[in-house]
Amino acid sequence: MLAGNMILLDSQMLAIKQVCIKLLAIREHSKKDLLNKVLARGFDRDTSIHVIEILAQDGWQSDCRFAESYARYRILKGYGSIYINFELKKQGIKQFDLGPIVLSTVGSWLDLAEKVYLKKYDDQACLDRNEWAKRSRFLMQRGFPNTIISTLFEQLNIKF
């Protein structure tokens, strides 16, 4: 009876591994994301966690690669550090340094905020209070901190 259970466990592990590799061949996934997708297919949680850990040890899955890929994608879409860090935490990535990625992608968070701002708005210098607040909220919703927004408005000489 014990040998039958081992064969069943090995076949389940192989099935989980195949599903994971197919998913990872499409794009990078965090461990949490991969686990959720495998569990949605009806596999055992403990076995799935074990298989995902083995895949991570063998280099098939990497939370670091996932975080880099995701951060680069979101930076290119015009999102700020607060938004990206929040999304990474939802994916199970607790700590990740976005500095090198933003540096290699757009230069700095201020450069990105300026690009996003000027794409949506003109560089009109004098705004009424409501319009200034509206533009600030737009940048906040994109995940830029208040310090970046203030610095950007000073740099562009935007006042209300």
Cβ-contact 151, 109 below 8 angstroms? no
3 state SS of 159: strand
117/21 Cα distance (integer angstroms): 40
27 band by pLDDT with thresholds 50, 70 and 90: very high
pLDDT digits (tens, 9 = 90+) for 92-123: 998 888 888 888 889 999 999 999 999 998 77
**pLDDT in the model for residue 5:** 43
Going from N- to C-terminal start, the domains of the chain cover: 1-61, 109-155
133/156 Cα distance (integer angstroms): 16
pLDDT digits (tens, 9 = 90+) for 73-96: 999 999 999 999 999 999 999 888
54 band by pLDDT with thresholds 50, 70 and 90: very high
Region 1-61: CATH code: 1.10.10.10
pLDDT digits (tens, 9 = 90+) for 139-157: 999 999 999 999 998 988 8
Tokens linked to 119 = 């794409």
Q: Which residues pair with 126 in a beta bridge?
A: 159
Q: Is 157 exposed, middle or buried (0-12, 13-18, 19+ CB in 10 A)?
A: exposed
Nearest to 107 by CA among 66, 84, 75, 64: 75
